[in-house]
Structure 1
Amino acid sequence: MYSVIGTAKSRTFRVLWMLEELGQDYDHVAANPQTESVIAFNPAGKVPVLIDDGTPITDSTAIIQYLADRHQAMTHPAGTLARARQDSLTQFLLDEFDAALWTATRHSFILPEEMRVAAIKNTLRWEFERSQRALVHRMAEDDFAMGDQMTVPDIILGHCLTWALLARFPIVEHRLTRYHDMIRNRPAFQRTARL
């Protein structure tokens, strides 16, 4: 059984949600970043951490791709053009969505107060809205980001859109609003949201 360390109110949500989608059993240790139970497995003190067979794996994207590869689900095979497209979309979401939201979060309450720049959030919101327009042109016409099956980028995008609303970053593309509603109604997402 897997162990997942980190609170569900962080990127740990992605790992928990992936495990729910895959139907895998796991033990959840809802530890905050920088606590002893996290630092014991990740010296940087960051969450999430997945423990598999005694080995810690860090970084939410690395973890969910590992799980997808290991269970041969929610991913395209490595070395295929479909996987290259999937990895490209994953990187786009990390660079354009996750990075903007993470920077805004850091300037809201993570950085020391004297290092925070509140005005940066206006620029980040503008970038986030511009990135939404680019994303809808890259998305498949089917339900999910890559087509008719849920893949790793859907976990990242679904989490980022939820995070955006909590951070008051508006979702301006109707396609993404519909997509987010569909993703949030998935039973695995609902189970994870209750953690």
Structure 2
Amino acid sequence: MYEVIGTRASRAFRVLWMLEEIGQDYKHLPAAPRSPEALAANPLGKVPALRAGDTCLTDSTAIMTYLGDVHSALTYPAGTIDRARQDALTHQILDDIDGVLWAAARHSFVLPEEHRVPAIKEPMKWEYARNLAHLSDALQGPFLMGEKMTIPDILLTHCLRWAEGAKFPEPDQKLKDYKAMMEARPALQRTVALP
């Protein structure tokens, strides 16, 4: 059985949601970043971490890629053109959406106050809106890659939820509808209900 270390309010949400989607049993340890439990799983104290047997994996995307490959779920097989397209979308979301949100968060509450540049949030909002428009144009069907839900869908939906809470620009109607469809998924609802 897997053990997920990290609060639901962190990127651990992505891993928890994926485990719910693929129907794998897990234990959840809702540890905060830099808590003793987080430090025991990752010397940097970052969450999430995933214990799989005697191994502890870190980084939400690495964990989801591992789970997808091991369980042949929410992913295309390695070495295929579809997997390369999926990986490209994954990196686009991480670079253009997640990275922008994280930069704004660091300068809002993560960094020590003397190192924050609060004014950075406004250009980050502009960049987010511009980058999100490119992803909207790429949306191929009900999911980012067409008819099949993949790891990038979890990443983008998590980022859309994060952006909403951070008061970033709203997505266009196409992505609003996409977000509503994703949030209605029973696995996401079970994840939201976790402590």
Equivalence for 2:174: 175
- Partner residue, 1:147: 146
Report the AA paired with residue 174 of structure 2: R
1:34-91 deviation digits (Å, cap 9, x = unpaired): 0111111200110000000120000000001110111001100100100000000000
In 2, the alpha carbon distance for the partners of 1:174 and 1:36 equals 43
Q: Which residue of 1 aligns with 2:70?
A: 70
Higher alpha-carbon deviation: 169-178 or 58-67: 169-178
Distance 2:137 2:180 in 1: 19
Matched to 1:177, the amino acid is K
TM-score (norm 2): 0.98
Gap regions ≥5 residues in structure 1: none
Q: What is the alpha-carbon distance in structure 2 between the residues aligned to residue 179 and residue 153 of structure 1?
A: 13
Q: CA deviation at 1:163?
A: 0.3
CA distance in 2, matches of 1:95, 1:171: 19
Aligned counterpart, 2:104: 104
Query: In 1, distance between residues paired with 2:63 and 2:171?
Result: 30
Identity of aligned residues (%): 55
Any idea what SS the aligned residue of 1:39 has? helix
Partner of 1:135: 135
Tell me which amino acid in the other structure corresponds to 2:14: R
How many residue pairs get aligned? The number is 194
Query: How do 1:47-66 residues align onto structure 2 when only pairs under 5 Å count?
Result: 47-66=47-66
Letter in 2 for 1:189: L
Q: Which amino acid aligns with 1:17?
A: W
Unaligned runs of 5+ in 2: none
Q: Which moved more, 1:111-120 or 1:165-174?
A: 165-174
Q: Kindly indicate whether residue 2 of structure 2 is the aligned counterpart of residue 6 of structure 1.
A: no
**Does the residue aligned with 2:57 lie in a helix, a strand or coil?**
strand
Misfit runs of 4+, over 6 Å = none
SS of the residue aligned with 1:40? Answer: helix
| One-letter code aligned to 2:166 | A
- Scaled by the length of structure 1, what TM-score is found? 0.98
Q: Aligned equivalents of 1:156 and 1:31: distance in 2?
A: 21
Shift of residue 172 of structure 1?
Answer: 3.0
Alpha-carbon distance in structure 2 between the residues aligned to 1:72 and 1:80: 14
Q: Displacement, 1:171?
A: 2.1
Partner Cα separation in structure 1 for residue 124 and residue 106 of structure 2: 12
**In structure 1, C-alpha distance between the alignment counterparts of 2:76 and 2:188, rounded to whole Å:** 21
1:132 is displaced (CA, Å) by 1.2
Give the counterpart letter for 1:117 in structure 2. Answer: V
AA aligned to 1:159 is H
Q: What's 1:187 paired with?
A: 186
Distance in 2 of aligned mates of 1:18 and 1:160: 15
The 3-state SS of whatever aligns with 1:146 is coil
Between the aligned partners of 1:32 and 1:131, the Cα distance in structure 2 is 30
1:45 aligned partner: 45
